[in-house]
């Protein structure tokens, strides 16, 4: 099975126009091109670094302020006891789905086009998860007791309450983060060794050497590596499904109209992959442009990812329709009110319709191949979809809470400057981590590219065709 | 029943903005400063680690001492209860005050006192916080110089004072709040004996001069009526909020509820008609409410009287035949006429078993017609008795502010002593009291605070709180009771009696001694010691209720009153609207404006906190062109007031109502300062209704046109949901099981919870709830509930464990209002419990949904999953800034909650456990009625019943077994332990179709 990876025929043969790799660069050429960004720093990088570092600093300030003063500095209230923190949590977790989906899911499905994009996607996953993990911690009234949610053996024999979704949530996110980190790092090892071998200074050679864990590229090492990678992929794939399913249970185990819904697990997973792909595109497109990687990340990649956006987008639309239909069909007056009155016509109707426009209409662009392969259209669409998915979580969380069963407790929610600061601060932190990543680590999986090229060349020569 | 759409949702309007001005009361807002819990724990750890080093240091030796001999009545850890009385508006309400180790913590009603019968209103209950108010005045002064008590007493001693005021005391004047204290009355008599020319005046802005004026007009004597609602089948309230704001309202509410309460479909029920301009708690309970302006109430009263005389042959006693013709037919507004006819017919059918009661703010003619109506209906001696006013009236000054101001204008006032009250703030605007007061030669003010009057007075003496002082007072029905101190004075201070004794030249006399002597002379008891001790223990002086007087109507002069046929009035087509001044249900006349509890108590109808506003009907608002929160400019007699509008459904058209007591400006009361708008700027003398004022949008440039109104309930409709179920009595008789779909066991997959022992439960009778808020304050005091300030309320973060939801239903212009106390429902299948990740909220074997503060990490998942939204979260450290004295008001039996934890109603678990211990020691099971929750205890109508379902004979079990019992949101399967009794009304068939119920 391991060897079949390299030798299987290309699955995308039905659409031969756009190749997965333009030209057939040699191993040395690939190494040179893809490692250059590690040895040089552009002025633009410093600029972006400065901006995101400032944003991150501001995040730290506002987080400290929140922890010292109490989460009353946010806009949350009763009835809207969960708001930005949980919206941001779900949003970031969702974004964190694309990486593992691309690396693990597509690996198991033999999608070779993943080779040039998986590293960026995986890194993005980790950074998104770091941001996501911040929120469940921060949103606690007493964050210093966060460990009470963990099942550790206490002297008093007090355990978490396992009927609640929250301990499971903690476990699911922690597992996902651990596996994603291992998976990402394992994939990096051969490339870290290449970087070690190519590094211009002794210090860098030593640093990369330490992290390369003594990789020599022997056949035995490759054999173990492949086995471990595949096993981790097998482990990570169900997690892609489980994490957001568990996150969705935070809502669906409650009895709140708008939350209490059995469609939530698949609906959340689909939405997560949808937003994750949008984020991958948002990061990939500038990288591709700046580092002139159009031959490596080809229009074929863009086309494939746009198709995934379209597919997941359509599934999301289906979920929206099912939600509305079931709300009506159930005959439950509270459900009906939430779905059919409060959301489309209530105080947050503007946000609801913005969500519909962003998440339902935007992917319809990708019925057209020209738009699927246009970098600028994809970039714009990704931004809109990311914003749309954020508003989706806003709608799910805030509009369900702010008008529930007793009209007497209905109350408006609006965020404070601290809410906005923390949201934008995490975006900065995410950008900062990503900038450090592309500056210090090989952001395209070098050895996988070489392997892809080898596979393509072999296929060509065996079938005697000119191009794939 | 049709439920109508939302009237005004702040949530929906684009203008809604979050107020970011910091308006926290002390303790509500500040970031945790000093030592946080966390750093405390760190320090604790460090100090344990370093404790071994402690031996190296020489510590200063301090000694602590135990009680050498325990005070005999004191068991450490157990509360004592002392009887005392609180005076408001001159009348006493008997109280029992809970005291822990010598500090009073909670005020409860005295079951033996006729004005309380065990209930306590919001003012009485919140008064304990005023005792500990750190802003109370502490320093007596002359101008800004310190003034010692001996200096003061010698300055006002007769020897010195005679040099200025002569032997007769010309130019010497006293201004007191109306007082019913026999002791103070006696001191005033002695003062008049010493200074024959002294002027003694009484002024309380809410003590209506109409009552005595009407008595004088109708009977030639200042008689006041005392009603007996226990014998009344039909009640007509003419702009009279006798259930929540009139003197004696706790008693009236109790008696009214006795005839309102039904225990089954076959029980009889009284019927209440109310005609009023402003939705009041009484109006909300009415079976038929006529929405009509305050000035037209006299027309309604007149129409009912005319109807009785002309069509039912019922005339007041001794009515001259000639006068009957004055009550001829009239052309009037059709609805009003129909309503009055139906009411008259119903009253006529219940002769001797009805009550007609006129509100104090109504003019003399309405009061007199009410007397005539009760006479015509044969209610005298049955449901209405007359007594002499219990107010002290030494001499014949004729008393109010008017004569005082006349004397001052004539230069006849040189020395004025103001003993309590706050006339520089609350005197009628047309008297210009403040500027005259500041120009007088010598002015003295005795007050709790350095308030507006203190700022103008030349000499200032801090007053004592009633919980620190000795005294006596009479209830509205004349019953005398004693005021005994619960604590020695916190800040020093004097009572009015102290000051009067100083003027009498007896500076060394002790009020306690004098009071005892006073009563000793008046009580023909062989064993005075025993009498006195019993009086202090029971809180009531036996057999002091005022004797009934048989009144005789003086018909001379009444013909003019009856002639003023309403038909002759010009139609109110002008843009002018009437302005009605109301006592505030939260701060009274401004006396309690410094109380954070009361400022944050939602208004019974509008749910407004931390403000007052011009209440007006949707139609009037549309005509003026304002919405809720828009600034309105009111102008009357060339005086203006800018005040935000607040639209209230059910308000009479062409009428604007303002609550008095806001817009305080004195620095000495920082909590009250700048809250709300000062309605006294427009208040006229001797009237509470201005028939025509101009009301326009405030359009001055540079002044904000909007004002954020912090209301706790922004949505007013039930949205067709089965929340407050109601039915007419007839329908209930025919379909007693109309709530069957909203109760009973629901299906469940889980094993049922294992219950043992008592099963605590509560039943709330919505037929009896007036929405007065007594339970809310009781809960706040009992359970150490913090206040969050105006910004907190705007953010919907109020902490009340018990709130009163208020819904409007029926037609938009003339709706019904229903109140629903909402608290933790202690669900048997509690949605909050299974979502808590750390088991911080659990179920007890006796049926309580328990909150474990220590374990709570603050995920707030429980609140999200609570369909009743009764859980409250500590967004900040609300107790960080509580002053040392305010901390003394905390109930030591209840945990003060930390920042970041959830809290909610515990069914007063501290009381449950205390009585279990008590019962165990006594060796019997906890008896039904042995104790009750704070809310149930305070409720004047006893609408809240608490007890154990395990005892089938308990009151709560009986109530829950009533056919009309149901559970709110029953279909969710939460199986709440709080059950509601559907609201039953008793409408008059003759008016049914008109009201459109």
Tens-digit pLDDT profile for residues B591-603 = 999 999 999 999 9
- pLDDT in the model for residue B288: 92
- pLDDT in the model for residue A306: 92
- pLDDT in the model for residue B3: 41
**Percent residues over pLDDT 90 in chain B:** 54
Tens-digit pLDDT profile for residues A4-31 = 444 444 444 455 567 777 778 888 888 8
Taking a contact as any Cβ pair under 8 Å apart, which residues of chain B between 707 and 766 contact chain A?
A: 713-721, 723
- pLDDT in the model for residue B472: 92
Taking a contact as any Cβ pair under 8 Å apart, which residues of chain B between 19 and 38 contact chain A?
A: 31-32, 36, 38
- pLDDT in the model for residue B136: 92
- What is the 8-class DSSP label of residue B962? S
What is the distance in angstroms between the Cα of A172 and the nearest Cα belonging to chain B? 14
Q: Is the peptide bond before A376 cis (omega within 30 degrees of 0)?
A: no
Confidence of residue A138 (pLDDT cuts 50, 70, 90): very high
Residue of B nearest to A80 (CA): B864
Q: Which of A405-414, A426-435, B76-85, B388-397 has the lowest mean pLDDT?
A: B388-397
User: Which residue reads 């690996």 in tokens?
Assistant: A107
For residue B537, is pLDDT > 80? yes
The interface pTM score, or ipTM, of the predicted complex is 0.91
Confidence of residue B222 (pLDDT cuts 50, 70, 90): confident
For residue B696, is pLDDT > 60? yes
- pLDDT in the model for residue A80: 94
What is the distance in angstroms between the Cα of A385 and the nearest Cα belonging to chain B? 27
**What is the sign of the dihedral through the CA atoms of A121, A127, A133 and A139?**
negative
Tens-digit pLDDT profile for residues B145-197 = 998 989 999 988 888 888 888 888 888 899 999 999 999 999 999 998 998 88
For residue A376, is pLDDT > 60? yes
Residue of A nearest to B805 (CA): A408
For residue A45, is pLDDT > 70? yes
Chain B positions in Cβ-Cβ contact with residue A407 (cut-off 8 Å)? 715-719, 721, 723, 807
Confidence of residue A465 (pLDDT cuts 50, 70, 90): low
- pLDDT in the model for residue A458: 83
For residue A237, is pLDDT > 90? no
- pLDDT in the model for residue B475: 93
Tens-digit pLDDT profile for residues B451-498 = 999 999 999 999 999 999 999 999 999 999 999 998 888 888 899 999
Q: Which of A392-396, B289-293, B402-406 has the lowest mean pLDDT?
A: B402-406
String of DSSP letters for B13-76: STT-----S--PPTTTS----S--HHHHHHHHHHHHHTGGGGGGS-PPP------SS--TT--T
Cβ atoms < 10 Å from Cβ of B51: 9
Residue of B nearest to A406 (CA): B868
Confidence of residue B5 (pLDDT cuts 50, 70, 90): very low
Query: Do A408 and B856 lie within an 8 Å CB cutoff?
Result: no
Confidence of residue B410 (pLDDT cuts 50, 70, 90): confident
For residue A102, is pLDDT > 50? yes
3-state secondary structure chain A: CHHHHHHCCCHHHHCCCCCCCCCCCCHHHHHHHHHHHHHCCCHHHHHHHHHHHHHHHHHHHHHHHHHHHCHHHCCCCCCCCCCHHHHHHHHHHHHCHHHHHHHHHHHHCCCHHHHHCHHHHHHHHHHHHHHHHHHHHHCCCCHHHHHHHCCCCCCCCCCCCCCCHHHHHHHHHHHHHHHHHHHHHHHHHHHHHHHHHHCCCHHHHHHHHHHCCCCCCCHHHHHHHHHHHHHHHHHHHHHHHHHHHHHHHHHHCCCCCCCCCCCHHHHHHHHHHHHHHHHHHHHHHHHHHHCCCCCCCCHHHHHHHHHHHHHHHHHHHHHHHHHHHHHHHHCCHHHHHHHHHHHHHCCCHHHHHHHHHHHHHHHHHHHCHHHHCCHHHHHHHHHHHHHHHHHHHHHHHHHHHHCCCCHHHCCCCCCCHHHHHHHHHHHHHHHHHHHHHHHHCCCCCHHHHHHHHHHHHHHHHHHCCCCC
- pLDDT in the model for residue B71: 65
Residues belonging to chain A: 468
For residue B879, is pLDDT > 70? yes
Tens-digit pLDDT profile for residues A307-339 = 999 999 999 999 999 999 999 999 999 999 999
Cα distances from B893 to residues A248, A354, B100, B888, B890, in angstroms, run 41, 52, 10, 12, 9
- pLDDT in the model for residue B333: 66
Substitution target in B602, B856, B859 with the highest count of A β-carbons within 10 Å is B859
For residue B393, is pLDDT > 90? no
Residue of A nearest to B808 (CA): A408
Q: Output b/e per residue, B513-523; b: 16+ Cβ within 10 A.
A: ebbbebbeeee
Give the mean pLDDT of A168-186: 90
Tens-digit pLDDT profile for residues B805-846 = 999 988 878 899 999 999 999 999 999 999 999 999 999 999
Count chain A–chain B contacts defined by CB atoms under 8 A. 184
Query: Max Cα separation, chain A?
Result: 75
Residue of A nearest to B901 (CA): A141
Chain A positions in Cβ-Cβ contact with residue B865 (cut-off 8 Å)? 254-256
Taking a contact as any Cβ pair under 8 Å apart, which residues of chain B between 968 and 987 contact chain A?
A: 968-969, 972
Cβ atoms < 10 Å from Cβ of A312: 24
* Distance between CA atoms of residues A151 and A167, nearest Å: 8
Q: Does B5 touch chain A (CB under 8 A)?
A: no
User: Which residue reads 């029992």 in tokens?
Assistant: B96
Give the mean pLDDT of A386-408: 93
Residue of A nearest to B797 (CA): A77
Tens-digit pLDDT profile for residues A199-235 = 889 999 999 999 999 999 899 999 999 999 989 988 8
Confidence of residue A406 (pLDDT cuts 50, 70, 90): very high
Chain B positions in Cβ-Cβ contact with residue A68 (cut-off 8 Å)? 31-32, 36
Which phi and psi angles does B172 have, rounded to 5°?
-95, 125
Q: Is B271 helix (H, G, I), strand (E, B) or coil?
A: strand
- pLDDT in the model for residue A128: 93
Query: Do B869 and A70 lie within an 8 Å CB cutoff?
Result: no
Cα distances from B592 to residues B92, B181, B412, B582, in angstroms, run 17, 21, 33, 15
- What is the 8-class DSSP label of residue B898? P
Chain B positions in Cβ-Cβ contact with residue A167 (cut-off 8 Å)? 837
Confidence of residue B319 (pLDDT cuts 50, 70, 90): confident
Confidence of residue B769 (pLDDT cuts 50, 70, 90): very high
For residue A92, is pLDDT > 60? yes
Query: Do A165 and B856 lie within an 8 Å CB cutoff?
Result: no
């Amino acid at each position: 099975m391991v060897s079949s990876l390299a030798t299987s025929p290309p699955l995308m043969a039905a659409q031969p126009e756009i190749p997965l790799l333009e030209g057939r660069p040699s191993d040395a050429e690939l190494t040179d091109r893809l490692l250059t960004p590690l040895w040089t720093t552009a002025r633009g990088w410093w600029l972006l670094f400065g901006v995101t570092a400032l944003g991150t600093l501001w995040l730290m300030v506002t987080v400290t302020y929140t922890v010292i003063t109490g989460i009353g500095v946010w806009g949350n209230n009763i009835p809207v006891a969960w708001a930005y923190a949980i919206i941001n949590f779900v949003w970031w977790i969702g974004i964190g789905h694309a990486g593992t989906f691309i690396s693990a899911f597509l690996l198991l499905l033999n999608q070779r086009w993943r080779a040039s994009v998986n590293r960026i996607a995986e890194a993005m996953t980790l950074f998104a998860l770091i941001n996501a993990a911040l929120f469940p911690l921060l949103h606690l009234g007493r964050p210093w007791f966060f460990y009470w949610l963990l099942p550790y053996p206490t002297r008093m024999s007090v355990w978490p309450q396992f009927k609640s979704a929250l301990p499971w949530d903690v476990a699911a996110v922690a597992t996902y983060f651990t596996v994603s980190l291992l998976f990402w790092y394992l994939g990096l090892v051969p490339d870290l060794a290449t970087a070690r071998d190519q590094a211009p200074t002794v210090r860098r050679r030593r640093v990369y050497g330490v992290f390369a864990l003594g990789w020599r590229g022997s056949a035995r090492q490759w054999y173990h590596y492949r086995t471990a990678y595949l096993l981790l992929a097998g482990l990570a794939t169900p997690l892609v499904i489980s994490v957001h399913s568990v996150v969705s249970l935070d809502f669906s185990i409650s009895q709140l109209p708008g939350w209490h819904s059995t469609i939530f697990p698949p609906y959340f997973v689909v939405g997560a992959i949808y937003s994750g792909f949008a984020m991958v595109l948002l990061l990939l497109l500038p990288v591709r442009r700046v580092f002139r990687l159009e031959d490596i990340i080809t229009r074929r990649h863009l086309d494939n990812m746009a198709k995934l956006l379209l597919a997941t987008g359509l599934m999301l639309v289906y979920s929206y329709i099912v939600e509305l239909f079931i709300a009506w069909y159930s005959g439950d007056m509270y459900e009906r009110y939430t779905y059919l009155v409060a959301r489309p016509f209530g105080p947050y109707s503007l946000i609801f319709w913005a969500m519909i426009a962003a998440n339902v209409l935007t992917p319809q662009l990708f019925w057209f191949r020209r738009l699927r392969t246009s970098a600028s259209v994809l970039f714009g669409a990704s931004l809109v979809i990311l914003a749309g998915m954020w508003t989706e979580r806003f709608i799910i969380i805030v509009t369900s809470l702010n008008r529930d069963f007793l009209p007497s407790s209905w109350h408006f929610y609006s965020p404070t400057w601290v809410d906005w600061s923390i949201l934008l601060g995490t975006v900065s932190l995410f950008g900062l981590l990503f900038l450090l990543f592309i500056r210090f680590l090989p952001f395209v999986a070098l050895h996988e590219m070489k392997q892809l090229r080898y596979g393509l060349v072999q296929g060509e020569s065996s079938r005697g065709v000119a191009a794939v | 029943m049709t439920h109508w759409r939302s009237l005004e949702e702040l949530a929906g309007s684009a203008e809604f903005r979050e107020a970011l001005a910091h308006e926290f009361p002390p303790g509500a807002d500040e970031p945790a400063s000093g030592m946080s819990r966390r750093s405390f724990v760190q320090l604790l750890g460090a100090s344990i680690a370093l404790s071994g080093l402690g031996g190296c240091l020489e510590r200063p030796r301090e000694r602590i001492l135990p009680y050498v001999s325990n005070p005999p009545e004191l068991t450490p850890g157990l509360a004592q209860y002392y009887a005392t009385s609180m005076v408001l508006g001159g009348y006493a309400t008997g109280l029992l005050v809970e005291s822990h180790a010598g500090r009073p913590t909670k005020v409860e009603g005295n079951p033996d006192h006729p004005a309380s019968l065990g209930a306590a209103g919001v003012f009485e209950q919140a008064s304990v916080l005023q005792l500990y108010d750190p802003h109370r005045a502490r320093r007596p002064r002359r101008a800004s110089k310190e003034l010692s008590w001996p200096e003061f007493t010698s300055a006002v001693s007769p020897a010195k004072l005679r040099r200025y005021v002569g032997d007769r005391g010309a130019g010497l004047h006293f201004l007191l709040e109306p007082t019913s204290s026999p002791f103070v009355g006696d001191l005033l008599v002695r003062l008049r004996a010493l200074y024959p020319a002294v002027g003694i005046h009484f002024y309380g802005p809410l003590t209506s001069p109409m009552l005595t004026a009407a008595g004088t007009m109708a009977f030639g004597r200042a008689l006041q009526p005392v009603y007996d609602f226990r014998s009344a089948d039909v009640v007509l309230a003419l702009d009279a909020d006798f259930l929540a704001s009139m003197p004696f309202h706790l008693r009236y509410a109790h008696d009214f509820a006795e005839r309102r309460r039904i225990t089954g479909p076959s029980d009889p029920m009284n019927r209440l008609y109310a005609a009023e301009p402003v939705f009041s708690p009484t109006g909300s309970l009415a079976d038929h409410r006529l929405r009509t302006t305050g000035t037209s109430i006299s027309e309604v009263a007149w129409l009912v009287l005319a109807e009785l005389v002309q069509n039912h042959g019922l005339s007041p006693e001794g009515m001259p035949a000639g006068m009957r013709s004055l009550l001829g037919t009239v052309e009037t507004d059709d609805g009003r006429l129909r309503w009055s006819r139906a009411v008259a017919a119903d009253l006529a059918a219940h002769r001797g078993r009805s009550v007609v009661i006129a509100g104090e703010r109504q003019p003399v003619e309405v009061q007199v017609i009410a007397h005539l109506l009760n006479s015509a209906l044969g209610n005298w001696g049955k449901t209405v008795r007359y007594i002499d006013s219990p107010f002290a009236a030494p001499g014949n000054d004729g008393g109010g502010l008017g004569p005082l101001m006349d004397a001052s204008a004539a230069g006849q006032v040189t020395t004025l002593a103001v003993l309590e009250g706050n006339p520089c703030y609350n005197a009628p605007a047309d008297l210009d009291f403040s500027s005259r007061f500041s120009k007088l030669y010598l002015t003295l003010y005795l007050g709790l605070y350095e308030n507006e009057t203190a700022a103008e007075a030349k000499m200032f003496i801090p007053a004592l709180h009633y919980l620190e002082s000795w005294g006596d007072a009479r209830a509205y029905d004349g019953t005398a009771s004693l005021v005994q101190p619960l604590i020695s004075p916190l800040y020093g201070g004097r009572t009015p009696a102290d000051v009067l004794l100083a003027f009498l030249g007896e500076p060394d006399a002790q009020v306690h001694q004098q009071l005892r002597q006073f009563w000793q002379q008046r009580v023909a008891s062989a064993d005075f010691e025993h009498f006195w001790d019993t009086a202090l223990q029971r809180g009531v002086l036996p057999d002091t209720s005022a004797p009934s007087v048989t009144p005789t109507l003086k018909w001379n002069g009444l013909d003019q009153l009856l002639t003023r046929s309403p038909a002759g009035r010009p139609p109110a087509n002008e843009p002018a609207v009437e302005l009605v001044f109301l006592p505030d249900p939260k701060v009274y006349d401004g006396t309690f404006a410094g109380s954070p509890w009361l400022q944050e108590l939602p208004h019974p109808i509008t749910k407004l906190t931390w403000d007052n506003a011009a209440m007006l009907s949707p139609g009037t608002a549309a005509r003026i062109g304002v919405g809720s929160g828009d600034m309105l400019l009111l102008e009357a007699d060339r005086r203006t007031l800018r005040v935000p509008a607040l639209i209230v459904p059910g308000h009479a058209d062409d009428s604007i109502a303002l609550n008095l007591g806001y817009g305080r400006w004195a620095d000495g009361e920082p909590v009250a300062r700048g809250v709300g708008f000062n309605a006294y700027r427009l208040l006229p003398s001797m009237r509470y209704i201005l028939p025509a004022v101009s009301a326009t949008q405030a359009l001055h440039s540079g002044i904000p046109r909007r004002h954020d109104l912090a209301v706790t309930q922004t949505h007013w409709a039930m949205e067709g949901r089965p929340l407050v179920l109601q039915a007419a009595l007839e329908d209930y008789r025919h379909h007693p099981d109309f709530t069957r779909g909203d109760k009973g066991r629901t299906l469940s997959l889980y094993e049922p919870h294992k219950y043992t022992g008592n099963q605590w439960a509560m039943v709330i009778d919505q037929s009896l709830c007036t929405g007065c808020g007594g339970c809310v304050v009781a809960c706040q005091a009992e359970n150490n509930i913090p206040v969050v300030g105006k910004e907190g309320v705007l953010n919907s973060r109020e902490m009340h464990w018990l709130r009163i939801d208020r819904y409007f239903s029926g037609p938009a212009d003339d709706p019904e209002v229903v109140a629903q106390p909402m608290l933790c429902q202690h669900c048997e299948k509690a949605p909050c419990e299974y979502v808590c990740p750390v088991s911080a909220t659990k179920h007890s074997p006796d049926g309580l949904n328990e909150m474990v503060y220590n374990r709570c990490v603050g995920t707030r998942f429980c609140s999200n999953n609570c369909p009743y939204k009764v859980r409250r979260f500590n967004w900040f450290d609300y107790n960080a800034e509580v002053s040392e004295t305010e901390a003394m008001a905390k109930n030591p039996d209840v945990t003060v909650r930390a920042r970041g934890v959830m809290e909610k109603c515990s069914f007063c678990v501290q009381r449950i456990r205390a009585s279990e211990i008590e019962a165990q020691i006594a060796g019997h099971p906890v008896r039904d009625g042995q104790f009750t929750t704070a809310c149930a205890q305070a409720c004047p109508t006893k609408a809240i019943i608490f007890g154990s379902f395990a005892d089938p004979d308990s009151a709560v079990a009986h109530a829950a077994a009533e056919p009309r019992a149901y559970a709110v949101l029953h279909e969710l399967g939460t199986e709440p332990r709080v059950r509601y009794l559907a609201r039953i009304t008793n409408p008059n068939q003759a008016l049914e179709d008109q009201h459109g119920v």
